[in-house]
Amino acid sequence: MNRLAPWALVIASMSCDGIVGSPPDPDRDPCRGGTCGCTAATEAAACGAHQYCDASVASGRCACVAGYAHSGDGCAWAGALQDPGLAAGAWTAVGGAVLDPTATGGVDPGEARFSPDALCALARIEQTVDMPAFAAAEPLVLELAYKDERYYRPLPPPAIDVDQVPMGVSFGGGWSPLPFFPDPGFHELRICVPEGGYAPRGTAGPGAPVTFAIGPYQQPEACPSSLIDNFAVDHAALVPARPGECGTRPGEGVNWDAEGTGGWTFDVTGSSSGDFAEGLGVGGSRAARLRLAHRCDRAEMTATIDVPRVDNPVLELFVGVGARGNATISFAELFMTSVFEARSAAAQTRTLRMCLPPSLRGQTMSLAFRVDGGGGSCDDAMNLQMFVDDLHVVDEPACATSERFTSPGFEQGSPPWGAFGLVSEFGSSGVTVRSAPGEAHGGTHYLQLESYGRCSSAGYILRPTVPASTGGGPALRLFAKVGSNPDAVTTLATLGSEPQILAEGVGYQRYTVCLDPRYAGRPQPVYLRHGGGSGACNDLDYVQQDAQIDDLEVTADPACPAQ
Ligand SMILES: [Ca+2]
Ligand SMILES: [Ca+2]
Ligand SMILES: [Ca+2]
């Protein structure tokens, strides 16, 4: 792992050079604005908006909190992040990102570019600035311009050559996946700053340093030889939100209850539609609604979840479909789930609760809701509808979120089953959480990959959050039990590593897979695959095969590389 040393050194040598404080306060008159003298106890009454009591001055003096500066009689937002155009050298490049101040850019000159090697090394740009606590600030927006074009080359059918990864941003630790744009140009995005972008709740005084980082959310799929050659950041600024643009408290995005008008983006084609409809939401209130007119129309709506910095973040939402409807939810295209198990002749509703991974604490993520038209002729009139209400995140101890996992024993039984994985099923196979008596390694539930025929494959991507290395490299441990079968094979691997083949017919065994320390603070994909046997593709004489997984643990292992 010698090739990792350069960026490790960059981190170690960053010191405080990257920390930019508030501009010097030019106001030396303690009685300006009629406020004369204050203490920490009288701060709330004595000082105005975006101010704190600076007790280092005799008799105390109200001063602007971090990021704000005197303007007229009060304190106004001054920007915090320096060099929004990436042309003035205020950002630190880590892991091979290249700052080019003379590049053309999109919004303004200057870019940070990421080569294929830099993407595989999880390169990023970052800047640490003093930020106020949310309570002393106002809703702020990260104004961002970037491109994350997919590499796509059609090969002789049916093959294609694809490599892709979404841009990501870290607000004070943790990582948020950003929208993926398949075309070559820069895209401008406004992201309401989630709680992680502010000083922690209860921070006294002017604020606290917060690190903002921007770079690939994870390694591209083709690493270590990524094909992506058009990945760059052009602009990053912190600006006040427009009226009604952002939510007023952490955990609730704007118009989370669909009683207002903004917050949701509807993307529909043909005569399909998206709107806010009375009577379909919680307790007969309003809900955001999609209607799919014809099978091949697009009917999609997106909203953003704003995850508060709580121990066990759980996403709650109320969702329903009309008769014969089914619907899917996509989490930044990294994880997708079907809302109802089967289409029903009657309308269906449910309250969905999904434990979120610890790396999303204080971060943000977009959700896309889609009405699924199913297979058939594009001319078919469908008239399917889906509606969503009360989209918010709260603290739920039942999620048993650790620093590394949500519900590592799969005891929280609804998708995405704690480990926040991605299911892939091909042919006659399935991935699910089951609770048959005596079958779990611990507790009552376990993950099961199942094959019901040859030529099938069941896959699951675990996403453990990687810890900073302490005594040995980070490693994932799990217990797996695989049935004896002459054809089927079950493997465990990380991107680019040699897959471990799990032993068959020997009961639960413990397996260890080394994690990549460069993922510190964010989830690394770990691939579980169960192939349903080779040979002629028929299911007639195939006896169902299962692989059971339980009790995940992230730990430090001396046999794994620490950096
Ligand atoms: Ca620029
Ligand atoms: Ca509502
Ligand atoms: Ca269990």
Three-state secondary structure string covering 277-331: ECCCCHHHCCEEEEEEEECCCCEEEEEEEECCCCCCEEEEEEEEECCCCCEEEEE
- Ligand 2 centroid distance, CA of 287 (Å): 5
- Ligand 2 centroid distance, CA of 318 (Å): 9
Q: 156 - beta bridge partners?
A: none
- Ligand 3 centroid distance, CA of 497 (Å): 27
Q: How far apart are CA 175 and CA 173, in angstroms?
A: 7
Proximal ligand: closest to the CA of 550: 3
Q: How far apart are CA 126 and CA 214, in angstroms?
A: 6
pLDDT digits (tens, 9 = 90+) for 503-544: 999 999 999 999 999 998 888 999 999 887 777 776 677 888
- Ligand 3 centroid distance, CA of 415 (Å): 15
pLDDT digits (tens, 9 = 90+) for 194-226: 999 999 999 999 999 999 999 999 999 889 899
Of 438, 366, 355, 360, residue with least CA distance to 397: 355
- Ligand 3 centroid distance, CA of 256 (Å): 33
- Ligand 3 centroid distance, CA of 466 (Å): 21
- Ligand 3 centroid distance, CA of 465 (Å): 19
- Ligand 1 centroid distance, CA of 12 (Å): 27
Give the model's pLDDT for residue 32: 53
CB 232 within 8 A of CB 111: yes
Q: Given this structure, which CATH class describes domain 2-22+65-240?
A: mainly beta
Average pLDDT, whole number, for the chain?
87
Q: Any idea what the Cα angle at residue 357 is, between residues 267 and 239, rounded to 5°?
A: 55
- Ligand 1 centroid distance, CA of 136 (Å): 30
- Ligand 3 centroid distance, CA of 55 (Å): 53
- Ligand 3 centroid distance, CA of 553 (Å): 12
- Evaluated on CA atoms 60, 62, 63, 64, the torsion sign reads positive
Give the model's pLDDT for residue 188: 97
- Ligand 1 centroid distance, CA of 235 (Å): 5
Give the model's pLDDT for residue 6: 36
Distance in Å from the first CA to the final CA of the chain: 7
Of 488, 286, 313, residue with least CA distance to 396: 313
Q: How far apart are CA 284 and CA 390, in angstroms?
A: 12
Residue, of 43 and 428, whose pLDDT is higher? 43
Q: How far apart are CA 120 and CA 122, in angstroms?
A: 5
- Ligand 3 centroid distance, CA of 441 (Å): 6
Q: How far apart are CA 42 and CA 49, in angstroms?
A: 14
CB 339 within 8 A of CB 361: no
SS3 assignment, position 525: coil
Instruction: Please state the rounded mean pLDDT for residues 478-484.
Output: 93
Give the model's pLDDT for residue 12: 34
Proximal ligand: closest to the CA of 448: 3
Of 251, 495, 244, residue with least CA distance to 365: 251
Proximal ligand: closest to the CA of 260: 2
The contacts of residue 2 (CB under 8 Å, 6+ apart) are none
Q: 238 - beta bridge partners?
A: 142
SS3 assignment, position 413: coil
Proximal ligand: closest to the CA of 87: 1
- Ligand 1 centroid distance, CA of 114 (Å): 14
Instruction: Please state the rounded mean pLDDT for residues 128-152.
Output: 96
pLDDT band, very low/low/confident/very high, at 424 (cuts 50, 70, 90): low
- Ligand 3 centroid distance, CA of 410 (Å): 5
44 membership: H or E segment, kind and range = helix 43-46
- Ligand 3 centroid distance, CA of 447 (Å): 8
SS3 assignment, position 255: coil
Other Cβ atoms closer than 10 A to 125: 21
Proximal ligand: closest to the CA of 232: 1
- Ligand 3 centroid distance, CA of 508 (Å): 12
What is 422-557's CATH number, 2.30.130.40, 1.10.8.60, 1.20.1440.230, 2.60.120.260?
2.60.120.260
CA dist list (Å): 262 to 56, 148, 195, 247, 303: 44, 27, 21, 11, 10
Give the model's pLDDT for residue 420: 44
Buried b (16+ CB within 10 A) or exposed e, 316-334: ebbbbbbeebbbbbbbbeb
- Ligand 3 centroid distance, CA of 345 (Å): 35
Rg (CA), the chain: 25
CB 47 within 8 A of CB 41: no
Proximal ligand: closest to the CA of 388: 2
CA dist list (Å): 180 to 167, 197, 518: 7, 22, 22
- Ligand 3 centroid distance, CA of 543 (Å): 25
pLDDT band, very low/low/confident/very high, at 20 (cuts 50, 70, 90): very low
Of 484, 476, 424, 480, residue with least CA distance to 447: 480
Proximal ligand: closest to the CA of 234: 1
- Ligand 1 centroid distance, CA of 104 (Å): 7
Q: Encoding tokens for residue 102?
A: 């003379």
pLDDT digits (tens, 9 = 90+) for 157-174: 767 688 999 999 999 999
pLDDT band, very low/low/confident/very high, at 441 (cuts 50, 70, 90): very high
Q: Is the pLDDT of residue 307 over 70?
A: yes
Query: CA 317 from chain center: how many Å?
Result: 17
Burial of 22 from C-beta contacts in 10 A (0-12 / 13-18 / 19+): buried
- Ligand 2 centroid distance, CA of 317 (Å): 10
Give the model's pLDDT for residue 342: 74
Q: 366 - beta bridge partners?
A: 304
Proximal ligand: closest to the CA of 259: 2
CATH T-level assignment (fold) for domain 265-399: Jelly Rolls (2.60.120)
Lowest-confidence segment of 55-64, 72-81, 417-426 by average pLDDT? 417-426
In the sheet where 489-494 sits, what is the strand order?
422-426, 457-462, 526-531, 489-494, 500-501
Topology alike, domains 265-399 and 422-557: yes
Proximal ligand: closest to the CA of 286: 2
pLDDT digits (tens, 9 = 90+) for 74-110: 999 999 999 999 999 999 999 999 999 999 999 999 9
Q: How far apart are CA 523 and CA 536, in angstroms?
A: 38
- Ligand 1 centroid distance, CA of 189 (Å): 14
pLDDT digits (tens, 9 = 90+) for 246-263: 998 888 889 999 999 899
Q: Is the pLDDT of residue 469 over 90?
A: no
| Kind of pairing between the strands at 473-482 and 457-462 | unpaired
Domains of the chain: which residue ranges? 2-22+65-240, 265-399, 422-557
Q: How far apart are CA 251 and CA 245, in angstroms?
A: 15
- Ligand 2 centroid distance, CA of 260 (Å): 9
Proximal ligand: closest to the CA of 318: 2
**Is the overall model pTM greater than 0.85, yes or no?**
yes
Proximal ligand: closest to the CA of 186: 1
The contacts of residue 499 (CB under 8 Å, 6+ apart) are 491, 492, 493, 527, 529
SS3 assignment, position 192: strand
Proximal ligand: closest to the CA of 413: 3
User: Is the preceding peptide bond at 109 cis, omega within 30 degrees of 0?
Assistant: no
Q: How far apart are CA 142 and CA 245, in angstroms?
A: 12
- Ligand 3 centroid distance, CA of 552 (Å): 9
Proximal ligand: closest to the CA of 106: 1
